[in-house]
């Protein structure tokens, strides 16, 4: 092992985190309504599986795009040979316009400012390589997506310094938190090169407010640093307030062609909005020509398959389709989120009020035996092994307060979601040591008699039995 | 002014080197048989365009391979959502089987050791991140693919240290040259972590024999360093001697204790002609490297849409056999026509049996044996002969006068025209208008060298690096419409 690099030996890849361990447990025992009804239900995966039917119907109606054809003629050869890291022009144009549409057409985005990357994972890493040197730091509001520990730090050797946000104000970013983070970096002798925010936020599921966006813009201007806005969930805002991109804020303030115009960079991907993470379509958008130039060269390490670019350029150019898709997708997400919130409320659990994303930020502080991260881990383990749900503990997202969990709702069927809600209710009742008597059981029976798949879990077992049989 | 990183602002990407003039010339004046018949013919692009008809036919007969066609669409959901960095099992299996077939089924590949990457470009960078720390070095025999300078060094901070090979022994790698390079690195206080071999070689177009492979193996075992074998051209071997993969050496029992020092880089960009699909592979005999490289593959996974297509295609044994057979035949023919065409005007090339290019010896055409003279000749070839070829200096060749010229990225007619231009150029220089005898060709070479004095208008400023592997110079590569 001496022969391998330090990067192999360190654990900056982040996969020892509970976020990924939960996945591993799920993979050993995955829930299936028919084949494995006692398995673990995956609620730790922020995937959008609600609107495949819309994509499939588009595919059925557009045989040319899918058959490597243009006007009936095969373009397989051109696609197979196309390795230009500037990407297929038609695709970049379509992508830029799609991004504008998601932003309510309130911003103008130029396709020449787009750099295509193999997913947002690669986009974020590439931006780090472009904007910071090893040992420099980026400030990130907590809680944040656990993958950032790997994507931003691992091979780049950049540090993350948290901007501490907490529940007292709904985890909003404040001016003082920004300043405090900056000072903390200075105390650690780290040169801060920028701030990275996710908007809408993962794991919070909220869009940044105008106030927060203005704070951020002013802050980076004052400090002379970069701002990266990871807007991967921008198409998944299903409740007010509407999504406001940082680019819109700049335009409204008339900052075009000023210095700060070049300090703001957006990361995007189609993995969440279109539900196609397997296709590895990410993008960096920057007004800074040098950043675009450097990032484009770096994209050689992770280009988007030309086959995929071609398919998606056709799909995204179909404006009628994209409009319908975005709108319908949002409706379905809203419905799903409401199901989750209702189910949790039924179990006496509250969530942070959210309007976007594929998950809720759930408050289980009242279930902790003590206000500590150890207690959070205890509950988390119970939830995985005894309740059979993989949810993500707040500590894996670097949350400053124990007791918060991210729970995803868009990567399963409605039946599965209901099953999960039932399990939680059972668990909570047991944790709160409510009285078990016949009438309670009958209540469950009446509500759930149609859900045969839940029989083993809910009807066939007492509140005490499940702990042992799982 | 908010500064960017050192990496973003240095020249590590290699595109500011002086060798991009050929690309620029081609880009501003690309040859087209009808629209621009006097344009520059692209011969600096190592692409394999000879067998697309076979691929196209297969794709048309196999609509299920596309997840988007009516026949294949019930797979769409599962494929589109699948982002596991292990890759689709059927993809890994089919790639492993394909790699075995290319090696004449003399070796076995374990699909669980197959790791995806963003092309061979991504594979090289990932291996560098796994095997070495910033400041450490890999040895690399010259001449070598210029893209290595970027892929292995740019963002990783690793150095490349040359193993100088010379034409006196046909650029072969010997134990002595390896030892020599290692010693020099030690003297310069550079810690060597590995050796890179490109087999078949770009730009030489030759394969390594078993002795060389065993020598390299014993060298790295003794020094306890890694061996990275870039076998990206493994299925472009069209003539004897056949291809011997490092995998054959790895399976020898004498090597078993050191097998975990061996790592193979592969890609479908050259063998199948699919650079646009970005299918890169790392195959390592080292568990820790497989593990780590797999995590790093998140930064450059292969699109599952493409994984699915490739898995279907490469699982079709009949098609694969036919393809490999036909591809070898067409490459042989192309190579034969081209080298004969060169020989007719007295241009020799290194005896090659693989790859998509020739390594041409134009030493006798240099006005003096210097790299400046090589540059001048190169600019003459671009601007007067209107061919974009790649000068040996861009491959860090230690001797001036060698040029790499690609022949598989064009149709027969374009090849014929390229040869015609070369002939015409040589004939004009010698003032003759009929085919020469061998003796006359030899004399004409001397006369050509004299006429190269008119070079003043061709001095160019340093710009970008030409790419033998083509995709790294992609800013100047446009998709055909």
Per-residue pLDDT, averaged over B367-378, amounts to 94
Q: Do A150 and B60 touch (CB under 8 A)?
A: no
A325 is annotated as an active-site residue: no
Q: What is the pLDDT of residue A69?
A: 79
According to DSSP, the residues that pair with B361 across neighbouring strands are: B348, B402
Query: Measured between beta carbons, which residues in chain A are less than 8 angstroms from residue B49?
Result: 77, 81
Per-residue pLDDT, averaged over B233-256, amounts to 93
The residue with greater pLDDT, B453 or B423, is B423
Q: Would an 8 Å CB–CB cutoff place A371 in contact with chain B?
A: no
Q: Which one is catalytic: B21, B151, B215, B230?
A: B230
pTM of the predicted model, to two decimals?
A: 0.88
* Beta-carbon contacts of residue B474 (< 8 Å; ≥ 6 apart): A83, A84, A85, A86, A300
Q: What is the pLDDT of residue A460?
A: 30
pLDDT band at B426 (very low <50, low <70, confident <90, very high): confident
Q: What is the pLDDT of residue A433?
A: 62
Cβ burial, residue A458 (10 Å; 0-12/13-18/19+): buried
In this complex, how many residue pairs, one in chain A and one in chain B, have their CB atoms less than 8 Å apart? 254
Q: What is the pLDDT of residue B189?
A: 96
Residues B11-24: tens digit of each pLDDT = 888 887 777 788 88
Q: Are A194 and A267 in contact (CB under 8 A)?
A: no
Q: Do A291 and B8 touch (CB under 8 A)?
A: yes
Per-residue pLDDT of chain A (470 residues; tens, 9 = 90+): 468 888 888 877 777 777 678 888 898 999 999 999 999 999 999 999 999 999 989 988 887 777 777 877 888 888 888 889 999 999 999 999 999 999 999 999 999 999 999 999 999 999 999 999 999 999 999 999 999 999 999 999 999 999 999 999 999 999 999 999 999 999 999 999 999 999 999 999 999 999 999 999 999 999 999 999 999 999 999 999 999 999 999 999 999 889 999 999 999 999 999 999 999 999 999 999 999 999 999 999 999 999 999 999 999 999 999 999 999 999 999 999 999 999 999 999 999 999 999 999 999 999 999 999 999 999 999 999 999 999 999 999 999 999 999 999 999 999 999 999 999 999 988 877 644 444 443 333 334 433 333 333 333 333 232 222 22
Give the residue on A whose Cα is nearest the Cα of B61.
Answer: A67
Q: What is the pLDDT of residue B433?
A: 42
Q: What is the pLDDT of residue A464?
A: 30
Q: Do A291 and B275 touch (CB under 8 A)?
A: no
**pLDDT higher than threshold 90 for residue B473:** no
Of A88, A125, A278, the CB nearest to B303: A278
**pLDDT higher than threshold 50 for residue B467:** no
In whole angstroms, give the CA distance from residue A415 to residue A408: 14
pLDDT band at B250 (very low <50, low <70, confident <90, very high): very high
Q: Would an 8 Å CB–CB cutoff place A264 in contact with chain B?
A: no
Q: What is the pLDDT of residue A348?
A: 95
Residues B159-202: tens digit of each pLDDT = 999 999 999 999 999 999 999 999 999 999 999 999 999 999 99
Q: What is the pLDDT of residue A450?
A: 39
**pLDDT higher than threshold 80 for residue B435:** no
Q: How far is CA A343 from CA A200, A340, A425, in A?
A: 23, 5, 8
Q: What is the pLDDT of residue B221?
A: 96
Q: Would an 8 Å CB–CB cutoff place A10 in contact with chain B?
A: no
In whole angstroms, give the CA distance from residue A76 to residue B93: 24
Lowest mean pLDDT among A147-151, A333-337, B62-66, B216-220: B62-66
Q: Would an 8 Å CB–CB cutoff place B256 in contact with chain A?
A: no
CA distance to partner chain A, nearest, from residue B309 (Å): 10
Q: Which one is catalytic: A151, A230, A273, A288?
A: A230
Q: What is the pLDDT of residue B1?
A: 52
Q: Which one is catalytic: A145, A182, A255, A466?
A: A145
Lowest mean pLDDT among A279-293, B108-122, B450-464: B450-464
Q: Would an 8 Å CB–CB cutoff place A297 in contact with chain B?
A: yes
Give the residue on A whose Cα is nearest the Cα of B53.
Answer: A77
Mean pLDDT rounded to a whole number for chain B: 87
Per-residue pLDDT, averaged over B330-337, amounts to 94
Residues A45-100: tens digit of each pLDDT = 999 999 999 998 998 888 777 777 787 788 888 888 888 999 999 999 999 999 99
Query: Measured between beta carbons, which residues in chain B are less than 8 angstroms from residue A300?
Result: 118-119, 121-122, 150, 471-472, 474
Residues B141-159: tens digit of each pLDDT = 999 999 999 999 999 999 9
Q: What is the pLDDT of residue B430?
A: 59
Nearest to A356 by CA among A209, A217, A228, A149: A209
Q: Do A121 and B306 touch (CB under 8 A)?
A: no
B270 is annotated as an active-site residue: yes
Q: Would an 8 Å CB–CB cutoff place B224 in contact with chain A?
A: yes
Of A8, A80, A281, the CB nearest to B130: A8
B145 is annotated as an active-site residue: yes
Q: What is the pLDDT of residue B427?
A: 76
B232 is annotated as an active-site residue: yes
Q: Would an 8 Å CB–CB cutoff place A132 in contact with chain B?
A: yes
Of B2, B47, B56, the CB nearest to A263: B2
């Amino acid at each position: 092992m001496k022969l391998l690099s330090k990067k192999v030996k360190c654990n900056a890849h982040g996969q020892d985190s509970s976020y990924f361990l939960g996945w591993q447990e799920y993979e050993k025992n995955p829930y299936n309504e028919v084949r494995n009804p006692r398995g673990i239900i995956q609620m730790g995966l922020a995937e959008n599986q609600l609107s495949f039917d819309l994509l499939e119907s588009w595919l059925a109606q557009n045989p040319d795009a899918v058959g490597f054809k243009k006007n009936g003629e095969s373009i397989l050869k051109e696609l197979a040979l196309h390795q230009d890291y500037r990407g297929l022009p038609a695709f970049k144009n379509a992508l830029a316009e799609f991004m504008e549409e998601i932003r309510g057409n309130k911003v103008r985005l130029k396709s020449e400012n787009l750099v295509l990357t193999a997913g947002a994972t690669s986009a974020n890493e590439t931006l780090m390589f472009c904007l910071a040197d090893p040992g420099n730091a980026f400030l990130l509001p907590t809680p944040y997506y656990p993958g950032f520990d790997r994507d931003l730090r691992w091979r780049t050797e950049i540090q993350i310094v948290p901007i501490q946000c907490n529940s007292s104000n709904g985890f909003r970013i404040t001016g003082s938190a920004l300043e405090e983070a900056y000072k903390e970096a200075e105390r650690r002798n780290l040169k801060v090169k920028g701030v990275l925010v996710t908007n809408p936020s993962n794991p919070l599921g909220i869009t940044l407010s105008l106030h927060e966006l203005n704070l951020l813009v002013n802050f980076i201007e004052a400090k002379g640093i970069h701002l990266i806005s990871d807007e991967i969930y921008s198409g998944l805002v299903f409740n007010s307030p509407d999504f406001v991109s940082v680019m819109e804020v700049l335009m409204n303030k008339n900052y075009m062609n000023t210095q700060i115009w070049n300090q703001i960079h957006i990361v995007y991907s189609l993995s969440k909005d279109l539900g196609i993470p397997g296709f590895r379509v990410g993008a960096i958008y920057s007004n800074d020509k040098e950043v675009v130039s450097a990032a484009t060269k770096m994209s050689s390490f992770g280009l988007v398959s030309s086959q995929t670019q071609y398919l998606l350029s056709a799909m995204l150019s179909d404006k009628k389709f994209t409009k319908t898709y975005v709108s319908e997708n949002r409706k379905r997400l809203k419905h799903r989120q409401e199901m989750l919130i209702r189910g949790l409320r039924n179990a006496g659990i509250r969530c942070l009020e959210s309007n976007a994303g594929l998950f809720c930020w759930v408050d289980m502080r009242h279930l902790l035996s003590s206000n500590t991260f150890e207690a959070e881990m205890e509950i988390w383990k119970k939830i995985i092994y005894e309740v059979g749900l993989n949810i993500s503990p707040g500590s894996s997202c670097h949350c400053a307060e124990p007791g918060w969990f991210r729970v995803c709702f868009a990567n399963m069927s409605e039946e599965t979601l209901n099953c999960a809600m039932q399990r939680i209710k059972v668990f909570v009742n047991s944790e709160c040591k409510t009285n078990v008597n016949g009438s309670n059981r009958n209540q469950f029976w009446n509500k759930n008699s149609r859900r045969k798949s839940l029989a083993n879990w809910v009807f066939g077992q007492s509140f005490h039995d499940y702990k042992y049989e799982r | 002014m908010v500064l960017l990183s050192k990496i973003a602002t240095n020249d590590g990407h290699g595109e500011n080197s002086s060798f991009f003039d050929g690309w620029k010339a081609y880009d501003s004046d690309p040859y087209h048989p009808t629209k621009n018949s006097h344009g520059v013919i692209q011969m600096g692009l190592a692409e394999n365009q000879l067998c697309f008809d076979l691929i196209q036919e297969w794709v048309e007969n196999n609509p299920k391979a596309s997840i988007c066609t009516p026949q294949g669409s019930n797979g769409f959901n599962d494929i589109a959502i699948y982002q596991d960095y292990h890759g689709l099992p059927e993809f890994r299996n089919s790639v492993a089987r394909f790699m075995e077939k290319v090696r004449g089924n003399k070796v076995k590949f374990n699909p669980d050791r197959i790791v995806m990457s963003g092309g061979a470009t991504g594979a090289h960078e990932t291996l560098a991140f796994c095997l070495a720390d910033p400041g450490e070095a890999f040895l690399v025999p010259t001449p070598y693919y210029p893209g290595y300078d970027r892929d292995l060094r740019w963002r990783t901070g690793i150095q490349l240290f040359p193993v100088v090979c010379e034409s006196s022994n046909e650029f072969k790698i010997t134990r002595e040259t390896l030892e020599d390079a290692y010693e020099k690195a030690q003297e310069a206080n550079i810690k060597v972590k590995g050796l890179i071999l490109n087999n078949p070689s770009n730009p030489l177009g030759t394969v390594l024999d078993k002795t060389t492979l065993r020598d390299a193996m014993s060298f790295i075992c003794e020094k306890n360093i890694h061996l990275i074998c870039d076998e990206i051209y493994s299925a472009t071997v069209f003539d004897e001697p056949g291809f011997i993969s490092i995998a054959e050496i790895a399976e020898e029992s004498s090597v078993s204790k050191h097998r975990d020092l061996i790592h193979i880089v592969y890609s479908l960009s050259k063998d199948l002609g699919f650079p646009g699909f970005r299918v890169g592979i790392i195959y390592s005999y080292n568990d820790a490297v497989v593990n780590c490289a797999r995590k790093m593959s998140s930064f450059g996974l292969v699109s599952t849409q493409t994984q699915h297509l490739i898995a279907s295609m490469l699982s079709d044994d009949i098609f694969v056999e036919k393809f490999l057979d036909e591809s070898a035949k067409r490459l042989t023919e192309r190579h034969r026509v081209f080298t004969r065409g060169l020989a007719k005007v007295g241009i020799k090339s290194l005896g090659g049996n693989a790859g998509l290019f020739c390594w041409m010896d134009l030493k006798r055409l240099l006005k003096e044996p210097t790299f400046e003279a090589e540059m001048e000749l190169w600019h003459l070839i671009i601007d007067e002969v209107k061919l974009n070829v790649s000068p040996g200096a861009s491959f860090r060749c230690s001797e001036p006068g060698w040029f790499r010229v690609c022949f598989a990225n064009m149709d027969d007619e374009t090849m014929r025209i390229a040869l015609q231009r070369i002939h015409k150029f040589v004939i004009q220089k010698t003032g003759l208008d009929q085919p020469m005898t061998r003796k006359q060709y030899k004399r004409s070479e001397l006369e050509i060298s004299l006429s190269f004095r008119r070079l003043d208008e061709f001095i160019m400023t340093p710009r970008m690096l030409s790419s033998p592997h083509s995709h790294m110079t992609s800013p100047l590569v446009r998709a055909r419409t």
